[in-house]
Amino acid sequence: MTAKIIGIGAYAPEHIVTNRDLMEFLDTDDAWIRERTGICERRISTQEGTSALAAEAARRAVKDAGIRPEEIEIIIVATSSADRSFPSAATDVQGAIGADNAVAFDITAACSGFIYGLHIMQGFIQSGIYKTGLIIGAETLSKVLDWTDRSSCILFGDGAGAAVVQAAETGVIKTLVGSDGRKGDVLYCQARSLKNCITGGKPELGFMQMDGQEVFKFAVKKVPEIVTQILEETNTPGEEVQHYVLHQANTRILESASRRLKVPMEKIPVNIDRYGNTSAASIPILLEEMKRDGRLKPGDKLVMAGFGAGLTWGAALLTW
């Protein structure tokens, strides 16, 4: 038995922020952002937190799967921007959608979170512990961005994507994940400091800090590497794969992967122009769009690959 995605849902907040909107308070330029990143606009949440976005994406995925929320046995939310330190966003989702029989918890693997979630779910399903699960990537990174730092804040957007998975004969063929904790300072967001009435001073919260060029260099090397690895380890010829669904971080990273893998851009779907980088949500948001517009057909083979803070990376090969 393996994990098969039987339902997919996505939800992004309504409020659109264009590059030109950013130019009103930031020393930046629409043409620069389009040329250097491929982003034209992103969604920014004004009302709904991460759990609300996650719950709506989950409702849509459950509807798409045609199951009852009570059938879900496990909920994993991948997020780096939960509304509260505890309880988890996953238990919020459980309560909101009435998945009363599920165990629910969050994972943090930054932009690789959805693939990590699928990897964990695959383990539970292969071992027979659970048969039906829900994986959600959800972010409101807008609240941790330094909106005065033009080299990072222009990149990100808010949103959520969810997948219902179930034990089946075909589906996930292989997942692979990895981490390099020595590179943790390349991209991070400080949580609460140790300052309090014992240590002195007021508690502080940090903002995202990113060495963009380091992340870029890592991504253009790592993405082709893990895609090649997963194809080789499963003896899958690249031509058999219809879609390379890659984390949407920068169009130049996608184009570089296309060149290095010798895969035409027609096989690498792109929606970063409309959403920016939604971190853990980017892959399921893209999958939902592809399913809705008929690009994803039953039996299609697809590779997903992501990378992010940690540093972390992950890839999955599956039959849709």
Specify whether 153 is catalytic: no
Active-site hit among 119, 243, 247, 250: 247
Q: Which is nearer to ligand UT7, 14 or 35 (CB)?
A: 35
When binding is defined by CB under 6 A, the residue of 102, 227, 249, 283 that contacts ligand UT7 is 249
Q: Does residue 243 have an active-site annotation?
A: no
Q: Does 212 bind ligand UT7 (CB under 6 A)?
A: yes
**DSSP three-state, residue 102:** coil
Structure tokens at 319: 């039959």
Per the annotation, the verdict on 247 as an active-site residue is: yes
Q: Which stretch binds ligand UT7 (CB under 6 A): 71-79, 84-92, 215-223, 259-267?
A: 215-223
Q: Contacting ligand UT7 (CB under 6 A), which of 215, 230, 290, 303?
A: 215
If the CB atoms of residues 125 and 227 are measured against ligand UT7, the closer one turns out to be: 227
Q: What single letter denotes the amino acid at residue 170?
A: T
Distance CA 104, CA 237 (A): 37
Instruction: Provide the 3-class DSSP secondary structure of residue 222.
Output: helix
Closest separation in Å from C-beta 104 to ligand UT7: 25
Cβ count near 209 (within 10 Å)? 14
- Residue 274 near ligand UT7 by CB under 6 A: no
Q: Which of 51, 88, 140, 250 binds ligand UT7 (CB under 6 A)?
A: 250
Biggest distance spanned by C-alpha atoms of the chain: 62
CA distance 104 to 59: 15
HSE value, Cβ hemisphere, 13 Å, CA-based, for 23: 11
Asked whether position 154 contacts ligand UT7 by CB under 6 A, the answer is yes
Of 32 and 147, CB closest to ligand UT7: 32
Residue position matching structure tokens 């909107």:
21
Q: Which of residues 111-130 bind ligand UT7 (CB under 6 A)?
A: 111
Single-letter amino acid, residue 153: C
Report how far residue 213's alpha carbon sits from residue 230's, in angstroms, rounded to the nearest whole number: 26
User: Is the alpha carbon torsion for 84, 86, 89, 94 positive or negative?
Assistant: negative
Instruction: Give the residues lining the site for ligand UT7 (CB under 6 A).
Output: 28-29, 32-33, 36-37, 111, 150-151, 154, 210, 212-213, 215-216, 219, 249-250, 277, 308
Show which residues are catalytic: 111, 247, 277
